[in-house]
Structure 1
Amino acid sequence: MENLKINGQDFCNMLKNASNKLEEEKDYVNSLNVFPVPDGDTGTNMSMTFKAAVSEVDGLDNEDIGEIGKKLAKGALMGARGNSGVILSQIFRGIAKGLEGKKEATVTDIKESIVQGSIFAYKAVMRPTEGTILTIIRAAAEGVKTSTAQNVTTLFEEICNNCEAMLQKTPEMLPQLKQAKVVDAGGMGLLILFKGMHQALKEELKVELNTEVLQNKTYEMPSSQTEINTEDIKFGYCTEFMILSCKVDTEAFKNYLEQRGDSIVVVGLDDMVKVHVHTNDPGEIISKALTFGELSKLKIENMREQHRSLLGIDEEKAIEKIETVNKEPIKKYGFVTVGRGEGIKAIFEDLGVDVVIEGGQTMNPSTQDIVNSINKINAETVFILPNNKNIIMAANQAVELVEDKRVVVIPTKTIPQGVTAITMFNSEDDANQNFDIMSEAIGNVISGSVTYAVKDTEQDGKIISEGDILGILEKDIKQVGKDVYAVCEELIKDMINEDSEIITLFYGEDCDKNKVDELVEKLEEKYPDMDIQCFDGKQPLYYFITAVE
């Protein structure tokens, strides 16, 4: 049917049909996702995002189209999941902007809304990548600018054709797609939505929104997914939240996030700002966001864990495990770890540790301290990360004193080993599998520290005076000097080998932040091919705790 205009009822039917179609095809879209779990499953994220948006306008058929667009945009922003969902929410925020104040929409209005959808999507992303959903909405926008369509139905047919033609070119834009012989998942999701909107118009459909989760189709994940190493994920935590404030400088906050992660999206709507970032320190970013206002819809996901699950976990068995855990009054796993410094504590808590015992060097917790901490956790199995060779025996002893739950000690001897161990934890694996994986992982961590000498001595031919700065590699003193930052730089050099990929620094409470930043800049220049991570550990006694992996 030819439509010279569309009203609120037409628009609602288009949106509901689009949502239903994407729900039906979400598993197919998921199967195209060859990237190492950027935000989970692209199809699922987009479908849940769009369904949340359309739920906000379901039943508003008699409203003006501009008002429906506004409520749709707000629903999409609040319901956005993952990178693809956030970008999708911005596309429809732009579409809503183009329809703003309209009772009905003409061909000219729809053209403007699609153009705005492209503009909003590109503005939301710090470093746009072509060959993605961004390219598809741009193709739609460029197409409507030159379209001679006289009615909305024909215009949407052209939009679908332009998007599909561009989608077929995405493998030439992204090598990962070409290697896997697939098109971009996010772009396919957007095309499905536009096709659903077109179908509703063309066939004059009266649509009910499907609120059930459909599982009608099964698709195999492309084999290229298994060719991506978990270690290749540079920033391990997908972090999303809403800032409930109208005082956020979004551009300044984007710049702040750029120094701490990637896949950054910061978008605002009225008195809310949606934030999405991949980072290795969710706590730091959340703390910064709290300076602007109250937070809502907070979600942190371990992408390395998700990726491991994709590589080896049987889906049906995983679902059975999740359902079993949900029925039980206690959780399956808990964690106790040991560390000193508010920053160190915050890092472990962000990684899911239940109890952080204050302790470490010069402050070893007792067996009773460890037992008390275990007893605080309502879990079937509790893992202990001692993070110090002098605490491992006490931890093993605690195992024998706890009767109502299983206790497993991962023999971590340093803070970096503890961080790596819990990062490798997979909630879908059993305790024995996790023990093996985590124990193996800590063997790949080279740990060091920078502290000071408390007395005059000589060791390994090195003359050491009280107050000297010491660079310690595992248990050997490798560097002796007067300057904390110079010693740390030389220690890092001693720690690196041909297989090294990541340098991690936890700086202590006595460090000068400006000098720490200068050190990081030197390391980035010196080791351009390595990932340099730096965290404020706030630990006493040790200027730096270092790790190379």
Structure 2
Amino acid sequence: MKYQTINGHNFYNMVVNASNRLLEESEYVNSLNVFPVPDGDTGTNMSATFKAAVKEIEGLNTESIAEASKKLAKGALMGARGNSGVILSQILRGISKGLEGKTEVNAVELAIAFKEGSNSAYKAVMRPTEGTILSVIRAASEAAIETDVKDIVDLMDVVVNAAKVMLDKTPELLPALKKAKVVDSGGMGLYIILKGMYDALKDDIKAEIKDIKPSEAKMQGAQGTEDIDIKFGYCTEFIILADASHADKFRDDIIPMGDSQVVVGYEDVIKVHIHTNDPGAVLAKAVKLGELSKIKIDNMREEHREVLLSKEEYNLKNENKEEVIEAEEKKYAFVAVAMGEGITNIFKDLGVDYVIEGGQTMNPSTQDIMECISKLNAEHIFVLPNNKNIIMSANQAAEISDKDVRVIPTTTIPQGITCVTMFNPESEVDENEESLKETMSMVKTGSVTYAVRDTEMDGIEIKEGNMLGLIEGKIKKVGSSYCDVAEEVLSEMIDDESELITIFYGADVSEEEANEFAAKVEEKYEDLDVQCYRGAQPLYYFLMSVE
């Protein structure tokens, strides 16, 4: 096929085909993670982000490439997961900016849009690292600008080839990639997207959005079969195509009509979620603001009866557990990200308002964080990501929100718990923000997990199945026993200034094993306080902190 211009319909097929290809290859992209711990989730995060983007344009029938790209970018922005997903959302945001106001574009205009995508991605990263997805989009966009081809299929061919050349160079730019003999995983994800877009245009593919299989969606089974009282029976979700400035008033209007209200506004879209007994009344109020889209009403009582027969309905269980929004405004509120029932309960016991399930291998999206922020009636909201791969999504949520949201860039669970413990509700918000950032820097964190592949890092030979001891995310110890490795990690973390050791044992460690290990630590460091808690976190046998 030959195309001198492309419009919204062509663009739709290009990005949907790209999303499908990335979904198919997401596990392969995950496997390129150079770090041998079980958290290689780049492919999962990028695929989930792009899937959220194309879901936003599902069924869209428009000639305008500007309209299609704007909705795509908005979906990616809200659905962004992990650093790779946030960067991808910024690429799409920049491309949308470059296509603004256009019904169709020629090769020159599309090349400019790709360059805008590259610029936007680089601006989103505080310290851009070459040899990553950033290098790939930059090389692709520069090649697009420099070529003089007129046919857009030929342009996309140039873009894909330039992306592949740079992708193959990433090991030369990042020594860790070269040592692991892999290319950058984020760059590979982007290459798959660009190739999918090219193939759709070249082969005239009329793409349909593929669904993620349950086994790929990282869902947990519903726990228990106890009967519950569902006060409001219809889970109602929809989008209002209206000015986002109306979101707060609409949220106030529907508070008496149900519970679990979530009303999120962004530009010209308001997304609504509510559990109610009268969906019609809610929709009648909504239609006064603007046109309604993507209306979804589920009978939760009927669905729950099915859950009692089958433990596969994870989302329903979570929705039924949502807490009613506190009506009275308070000065401070907290949102934290955590994995593991025990750690979640610790955060809640410390007064954290919402704990989002997530962490290694399961990064929450910008929208997940936004929805928690939207539920809170507080003057100031602190978000604790507790994982370096969630900080960008949290920052993006804070940027979108019209509330005062402060992200404390915690990278570990112990940092987050210490921050909540040391928080002073009597202090002013700026003072608290500064104090929490200082507090988190005083917490040393160690962990023990297992190796998922053979490799060598920093002169340490690692075999698949080895126990790995990490300090501040860097592999320091390797062994065959997680208790022995944990002891070695602690010995390197403890110094003359140390006063407190905190141990969180994971889902694969028995209470007896944990108590024996804690007793051994207490005996070895008799001058230090030792605390041991059930974290029940997956993947990590121990999370430990020294303060």
TM-score (norm 2): 0.49
Question: Considering only CA atoms, is the larger Rg found in Structure 1 or Structure 2?
Answer: 1
TM-score (norm 1): 0.49
| Higher RCO (C-alpha 8 Å, min separation 6) | 2
